[in-house]
């Protein structure tokens, strides 16, 4: 069984924040793949489904970001899962908007949600780092991630969610490259060329000037 966690803050006020992109991802997975209704459990909202033979639980902690580990730890203990069974979707300011990277283990890089999870289950879980961009100065980060995505980001954000949904079954079975490829096909689709190369102009042969000299005259002219 896999436990897929989306990080964010509960409530309408935070729903469209950059910090809530993890919530957005698991909501899209649940909606597109026929998961069960969300219900309150483990200090969060949980939804159950499966990809082929693999059972999957989606979890949105409602403890607020800084205490996410409480919900994750409770769910893991109840479901009898190990850290390697956990996948966390979270916002990543060190990646450009729309970029996605996979990571297993390592530090939390100052992300408060990951910091809390580290404290409850250790670092040895999988992360899906969802790029939201950086405001340019570290002092601006808290306000930046707690603001809504601007309307200008709607297109790439929707493409990203579609790609995550397309590839999630591959991620669950451990095929990270195929998961990332599914996202790339949505966010950066191959360009189809509908134009044909312009044909090169054909140069018409230049006709030679008519020569009405007699054969004898031509011969004489050669020896002048």
Q: Which of 19, 33, 111, 134 is catalytic?
A: 19
| Whether the Cβ atoms of residue 163 and residue 182 lie closer than 8 Å to each other | yes
Mean pLDDT by 10 residues, the chain (224 residues): 98 97 98 98 98 96 97 98 98 96 95 97 98 95 97 97 98 97 93 57 57 62 60
Provide the residue ranges of all domains of the chain, joining segments of one domain with +: 2-187
User: What pLDDT was estimated at residue 190?
Assistant: 78
Burial 8-25 (b: 16+ CB within 10 A, else e): bbbeeebeebbbbbbbbb
Digit-coded pLDDT (tens) for 9-54: 999 999 999 999 999 999 999 999 999 999 999 999 999 999 999 9
**Secondary element (H or E) of residue 175:** none
Name which of 84, 85, 66, 155 is nearest 124 in CA terms: 84
Model pLDDT, residue 48: 98
pLDDT for 205: 58
Q: Which helix (H) or strand (E) holds 114?
A: helix 112-121
Neighbour count for residue 28 (Cβ, 10 Å): 19
Distances (CA, A) of 32 to 78, 80, 161, 163, 214: 26, 27, 10, 11, 90
Q: Which of 83, 163, 91, 175 is nearest to 122 (CA)?
A: 83
End-to-end CA distance of the chain: 102
- Check if 19 is active-site: yes
Pairwise CA distance, residues 10 & 113, whole Å = 13
Residues listed for the chain = 224
CATH of 2-187, one of 3.30.70.520, 3.40.50.1470, 1.50.10.10, 3.90.1150.10: 3.40.50.1470
How many C-beta neighbours within 10 Å does residue 74 have? 18
Residue-level pLDDT at 189: 84
């Amino acid at each position: 069984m896999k436990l897929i966690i989306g990080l964010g803050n509960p409530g309408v006020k935070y729903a469209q924040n950059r910090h809530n992109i993890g919530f957005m991802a698991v909501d899209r997975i649940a909606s597109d793949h026929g998961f069960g209704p969300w219900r309150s459990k483990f200090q969060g909202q949980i939804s159950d489904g499966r990809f082929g033979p693999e059972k999957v639980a989606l979890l949105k902690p409602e403890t607020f970001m800084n205490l996410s580990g409480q919900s994750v730890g409770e769910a893991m203990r109840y479901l009898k899962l190990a850290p390697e069974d956990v996948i966390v979707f979270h916002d990543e300011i060190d990646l450009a908007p729309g970029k996605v990277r996979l990571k297993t283990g390592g530090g939390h890089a100052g992300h408060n949600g990951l910091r809390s999870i580290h404290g409850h289950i250790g670092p040895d879980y999988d992360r899906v780092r969802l790029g939201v961009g950086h405001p340019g100065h570290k002092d601006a980060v808290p306000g930046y991630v707690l603001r809504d995505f601007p309307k200008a980001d709607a297109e790439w954000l929707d493409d990203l969610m579609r790609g995550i949904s397309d590839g999630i079954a591959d991620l669950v079975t451990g095929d990270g490259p195929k998961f990332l490829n599914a996202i790339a096909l949505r966010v950066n689709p191959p360009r189809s060329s509908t134009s044909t190369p312009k044909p090169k102009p054909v140069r018409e042969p230049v006709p030679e000037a008519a020569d009405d000299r007699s054969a004898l005259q031509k011969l004489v002219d050669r020896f002048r």
